[in-house]
Amino acid sequence: MSDSLNPLPLDHVILAIDSLEHGIDRLEEITGCRAQMGGAHPSRGTRNALLGLGEGCYLELIAPNPADETSPLRPGPFSERTDFTRFRSLTPIGWAIRVSDADAERDHLLRRGLSPGPVHAGERTRADGRVLRWKMLDPFGLSATVLPFAISWGGDTPHPSSAAPAGCTLGDLRLETPNAGVIRDLLARAGWSVPVFSGPSERIDLVLRCPRGLVRVPE
């Protein structure tokens, strides 16, 4: 991870794909590491697989759940339905900041003059039957792809990175948007130092250090 990102409490980065099996296979091809099945998101129409990135951070591979007829929801605290069939390759679509208490963080953001959304509770059941619980919120009241959501994990919930396969680390997280100045200001007001670059469209780029060398996603 670049030096400017070291202080950032990055929790996880989300990659979307149209099929979880396809995504796991492709991620293994390019990195040399195989993600582990995580679990389903009840009533959200999705399921995931995880790959550890070290330092309490992980990669979440998310795809439609064939066993759930619910139209897939975009991950995070938003309610937009998302057409996952367009994700034919591994595509970064979101990222999360870890906070100790989502409710307290919302109050903190309000004091900083931001407009956070409500706190939402979530859960999923791992393959071993362990239930993971969390709370999350949109810190900015906006659905921009490059902006993170905030997440806090339940006190009895082990962090997902603790059981995720290891082997890769995050070399860089790059945010690109036509509204770089606005996005940069919002992140700074929240207290999160993240480099933001100007570009023609919203885009999240990752560089992973893996057994097969440096891997860029999207490819």
Residue ranges in the chain modelled with pLDDT below 50: 1-6
pTM above 0.75, yes or no: yes
pLDDT at residue 166, as a whole number: 95
pLDDT for position 78:
67
The pLDDT of residue 158 is: 92
Q: How far apart are CA 79 and CA 199, in angstroms?
A: 26
Q: How many C-beta neighbours within 10 Å does residue 6 have?
A: 10
Note the pLDDT of residue 79: 66
Domain boundaries, the chain: 8-167
Residue 5: predicted pLDDT: 41
Q: Which CATH architecture has domain 8-167?
A: Roll (3.10)
Nearest to 5 by CA among 169, 202, 218: 169
pLDDT recorded at residue 180: 96
**Cα(2)–Cα(178) distance, rounded to whole angstroms?**
22
Phi, psi dihedral angles at 123 (to 5 degrees): -160, 160
Whole-angstrom Cα distance, residue 141 to residue 134?
19
Could you report the per-residue pLDDT of 141-171, keeping only the tens digit for each? 887 899 999 999 998 899 999 999 999 999 9
Closest CA relative to residue 81, chosen from 43, 24, 49: 43
What one-character-per-residue DSSP string does 8-66 give?
A: S-EEEEEEE-S-HHHHHHHHHHHHS--PEEEEEETTTTEEEEEEEEETTEEEEEEEE-T
